Amino acid sequence: MTLPIHICHFTIVHPRDDGRVFFKQCVSAANAGYEVTLVVADGKGDELSHGVNIIDIGKTSGGRIKRIANGTKSMFDRLSIIDADIYQFHDPELLSTGIKLKRLNKRVVYDSHEDVPRQILYKTWLGPLFLRKVIAKAYNRFEKGKVQKFDGLISVIDEITDQFECLSKITIKNFPIIQHIIDARLPISERKAQLVYVGSITKPRGVLDYIHALKWIPEPYRLLLIGRFIPEQLLEECKRIPGWKRVDYLGYKTLDELSQLLGGAKIGLSVLHAEQNYLQSLPTKGFEYMAAGLPLVMSDFEYWKPYFDGCSLRLAPAQPKLIASSINQLIENTDLYEKLALRSIQRCEEFSWEGQFKLLDEFYQKIMIS
């Protein structure tokens, strides 16, 4: 009997319940018959969850540099005794660990979630712009050189994938698992007067704008915030805004809980600020809103247009009054609301994780015979 292909994912940054790493990639692969191991560094212990064997190397303490140094050493020590067919990692901090695995003749795949060199340019804590440009250029050279030695490269958009040279590479877009959302979708007539935002709750993602916008949106509409505040102190700042009295902050929710909340809401919000790392990215939660049959109010980024055209009202970000105006259009114009909601329902299956996993499955098979 042929043994299943063993995929070992590893990360020192992402939580064990990360949406892309765990629920999409690991659980989908386990359900498809792969043997799947996920090695993390959170101090919560080992467990078997959804058919995935989770191994915890322990949480490291100290400053960022010390945590990375100790974490990468502990990670390699553990990985070197795991006999997997493919090792897939998700953090740029682990590039050198991937190289060490290659020296052991392992098949290694780097899953690059973000354009790190570009992000470096906007990390002001690294120093003045000229210094960030030097760091970004050096990191870009380092990253691209390491990736050439791996067996495979995965990224979330073509613009990142195309930057790399590698034996095999593929774009696996971070579309949502949609069937459970579709199943929880309520008819328009049964939905509550709720606006919903899902994801990391930050200023650049528009949280202050949404709360201020409530000033011009009629009762009984309320805003559901689902996710975690980054930084945590931002929660206190939000509470000082008069509109907070019409906010329901729900924190983190499981996939099943999230599906029920989205399926019963009225309008999805994704009005991110025009920061460079958002301009060429795909808002995963926007696709979840579509699966729930929600019209969207979102930023007018040109990159988003092909995905959300016909499902959304698009506007310049960071303008609460403009956000309120778009929301009020949907509240007051039933025909417009129903038209956008129907288009979301019609298009959502074009942008599903179920379709992306088929590509990932084929990619793994290719890596095994290369």
Q: Using one digit for the tens of pLDDT, what is the confidence trace for 74-94?
A: 999 999 999 999 999 999 999
Preceding peptide of 320 cis, ω within 30°:
no
60 confidence band (pLDDT: 50, 70, 90) = confident
pLDDT in tens, 106-162: 999 999 998 888 888 878 888 998 899 999 999 999 999 999 999 999 999 999 999
Whether residue 1 is predicted with pLDDT greater than 60 in this model: the reply is: no
DSSP one-letter code for 4: P
Confidence at residue 233, expressed as pLDDT on a 0 to 100 scale: 97
SS3 203: coil
Tell me which residue of 135, 165, 137, 140 sits closest to 153, measured CA to CA: 165
Please check whether residue 191 is in contact with residue 266, taking contact to mean a CB–CB distance below 8 angstroms: yes
pLDDT in tens, 9-57: 999 999 999 989 999 999 999 999 999 999 999 999 999 999 999 999 9
Sign of CA dihedral 48, 52, 53, 55: negative
> What is the pTM for the complete model shown?
0.86
Residue span(s) of the chain under CATH 3.40.50.2000 come to: 6-172+353-369, 179-351
The fold of 6-172+353-369 is Rossmann fold (3.40.50)
Residue 333: phi, psi to the nearest 5?
Answer: -110, 95
d(CA 208, CA 170): 37
185 confidence band (pLDDT: 50, 70, 90) = very high
d(CA 98, CA 110): 8
In 10 A of CB 108, how many CB atoms?
Answer: 23
SS3 148: coil
Whether residue 308 is predicted with pLDDT greater than 70 in this model: the reply is: yes
65 confidence band (pLDDT: 50, 70, 90) = confident
The fold of 179-351 is Rossmann fold (3.40.50)
Give the residue carrying structure tokens 């698009």: 314
Q: Cα dihedral angle (28, 352, 119, 201), rounded to 10 degrees?
A: -90
Tell me which residue of 177, 126, 137, 93 sits closest to 355, measured CA to CA: 177
CA distances from 310 to 8, 186, 233, 271, 344 (A): 40, 20, 37, 16, 8
Buried b (16+ CB within 10 A) or exposed e, 254-267: eeeebbbbbbbbbb
Confidence at residue 267, expressed as pLDDT on a 0 to 100 scale: 98
CA distances from 154 to 88, 113, 150, 195 (A): 9, 8, 11, 34
